[in-house]
Amino acid sequence: MTDYKLFRQGVRDFLALELSPELVRAGELTTSVFSDFEAALKWHKILHNKGWVAPEWPKEYGGTGWDINQRYIFQEECKLANAPSIVMMAIQMLGPMLMHYGTDEQKSFYLPRILSAEDIWCQGYSEPGAGSDLASLKTSAVRDGDDYVVNGTKIWTSMARHSNRIFCLVRTNKEVKPQAGISFLLIDLNSPGITVTDIVSLDGQIEQCQVFFQDVRVPVANVVGNENEGWSVAKYLLEFERGGHNFTIDIKKQLAKLRCQAQSVKARNGKSKLQDPVFRHRLAEAEIEAMALEQTELRIKGTLSSGGNPGALSSLVKCAGTELGQRFNALSVDAVGQAATPYHPDSLNPRYAGKTPAPGYALTAMAEYINNRAATIYGGTAEIQRAIIAKQILKL
Ligand SMILES: Cc1cc2nc3c(=O)[nH]c(=O)nc-3n(C[C@H](O)[C@H](O)[C@H](O)COP(=O)(O)OP(=O)(O)OC[C@H]3O[C@@H](n4cnc5c(N)ncnc54)[C@H](O)[C@@H]3O)c2cc1C
C-alpha cells in the first residue's frame, strides 16, 4: 500500500529544495493558465531531470508510475507551493494522443523531445470562422509528391510565439462531409512560409497568436493516423484537454488568496473586508459550491481509478469549475477595491524589481479577473458544454 503521507512529504521536500524565489514569484504572479515563459521552461527542465514532468504518462514512455492519488497530491502541492505552470499542450494532450495514434517513428522522435522541452508545441485547431463549429475549418493541405502544401490560418493559438512546433487540423478533402475530409498534421513552425503574429489580450499580456501558412511544405510522414481520419484523432486529443484539469486545486488556491486579500483590506471603520457581512455571504455561497464541485471531481477520480471514463461529467466540471473561478475572481477585485485598478504590466513580471503601484496582495486581482473571462470560452465554450450536459446527462 502506498503511504500517501510519506509521498506528500517527499513532494514537499523536493519543492522546498528546487523552487527558487524567482520561480515562486513567477507562480505567485501567474494570472492565467500560463506562467512567465522563462520560469515555466526552467521549472519544466527541473521536473524533467527528476523524472516528474509527465506524471500522467505511462511509465514506459517516461511517466512516473504514480497512482491517481499520488498525481493529485503532486498537483496540489505544486500549486500550494506556488510552482509556475509548465506549458502543458504537449504533455497533457499531444503526447497521450501520439501514444495511441502515432507511428513508432513518431513516438520515438517526438515523445522524448516533449519530455525534455526541446520541442514546445502549440495547438492549431481554431480558425477565424471555425471554433465551436470546428469541422468547418478551411486551412488546406494539398498533396504534392512526398509533401503536403499547406495554406490558411489558425487563430487563438496559445503560446505560438514561444513554440517551435504546431499540431494542426487541416482539410485534405473538400468533396466529402466536413468531418470526413480532415487530417491531423505535425508542423515545424520554422518552415518557410509560416508567419506568427501576436494577439494582445485585454490585460495587455500576449499569450495567443495568429499563425499564417503560405505554401508551407510539410512531409506526408507528419500525418498522425490516416489521411482524412483526423477528426477521430482530434476528438481523442480533446478528451485529454477537457478531462485533464483539477479545478478544485485551483479553487482552493484562489480561496486562500482571496481570504488573504479580504483580510488585508481595511474599511474606514477599521474592519477588514472579511468582516463585511455582505462580502462574507457571497464568499460562503461560492465556498459551498466549491465543496460541491470537489465532490463531483472526487467522483470522477473514483471512476477513473476503477478504469472508467468520466464522459459528459467532464463537461459539467468544466462549466462549474470555470464559472466558479470567475466568481472568485470577481470577489478578489471587490475585496481589494481601488488597488485593483492601476494598470502596470511590469509588476507581473517575476524579474521586475521596481516599485509597484499597488500592495503585493492586490497585484494580480484585475489581470486574473480579465484573463479568466476566457476560461468559459477556450477548451469548448460554456454553451457547448451545456448542450453536451443536456443531451448526454439530462437526456433532453
Ligand atoms: C484565451 C484563449 C486561448 C485559446 N487557445 C487556443 C489554442 O491554443 N488553440 C486553438 O486551436 N484554439 C484556442 N482557442 C480558441 C477556442 O477554442 C475558441 O475560441 C472556442 O472554441 C470558441 O470558438 P470561437 O471563438 O470561434 O467562437 P464561436 O464558436 O463563434 O462562438 C461564439 C459564441 O456562440 C456560441 N455558440 C456557438 N455555437 C453554438 C451552439 N451550437 N450552441 C450554442 N451556442 C453556440 C458560443 O458558445 C459563443 O458564446 C483559445 C481561445 C481563447 C479565448
Contact call for residues 23 and 85 (beta carbons, < 8 A): no
Q: Is 136 in the pocket of ligand 1 (CB under 6 A)?
A: no
Q: Is the CB of 156 under 6 A from ligand 1?
A: yes
Q: Which of 77, 229, 241, 368 is catalytic?
A: 241
Give first-to-last CA distance, the chain, whole Å.
44
- Is the whole model's pTM more than 0.85, yes or no? yes
pLDDT at 173 (0 to 100)? 97
**pLDDT for res 243:** 63
Assess whether the C-beta atom of 381 lies below 6 angstroms from ligand 1. Answer: yes
Instruction: Name the CATH superfamily for 245-393.
Output: Butyryl-CoA Dehydrogenase, subunit A, domain 3 (1.20.140.10)
Q: Could you tell me how far CA 209 lies from the centroid of its own chain? A: 16
Instruction: Please choose from 32, 138, 156 the residue to mutate so as to test ligand 1's pocket, defined by most ligand atoms within 8 A of CB.
Output: 156
Report CA(377)–ligand 1 centroid distance (Å).
5
Could you identify the atom of ligand 1 that is nearest to the CA of residue 380?
A: 21
Q: Can you give 90-114 as a three-state secondary structure string? A: HHHHHHHHHHHHCCHHHHHHHHHHH
- Cell readout for 145 is 509528391
Q: Whole-angstrom Cα distance, residue 73 to residue 246?
A: 11
Predicted local confidence at residue 67, as pLDDT: 92
Q: In terms of Cα–Cα distance, which of 396, 335, 319 is closest to 368?
A: 335
Tell me how far the alpha carbon of residue 135 lies from the centroid of ligand 1, in angstroms: 13
**pLDDT on residue 239:** 75
127 belongs to the catalytic site:
no
Rounded to the nearest whole angstrom, what is the distance from the C-alpha of residue 136 to the centroid of ligand 1? 13
Q: What residues in the chain have per-residue pLDDT under 70?
A: 242-244
Which is the closest atom of ligand 1 to the Cα of 124?
Answer: 11
Q: Any alpha helices (H) in the chain, and if so which ranges?
A: 4-18, 21-28, 37-50, 68-80, 95-101, 104-116, 230-243, 247-264, 277-305, 313-336, 365-371, 382-388
135 CB near ligand 1 (under 6 Å)? no
Please state, in angstroms and rounded to a whole number, the distance separating the CA atoms of residues 222 and 147: 9
Class of domain 120-229: mainly beta
Half-sphere exposure of 30 (CA within 13 A, CB side): 27
CA distance 8 to 33: 24
Ligand 1 pocket residue status of 157, Cβ below 6 Å: yes
Sketch the domain layout of the chain as residue ranges: 4-86, 120-229, 245-393
363 CA distance to ligand 1 middle (Å): 29
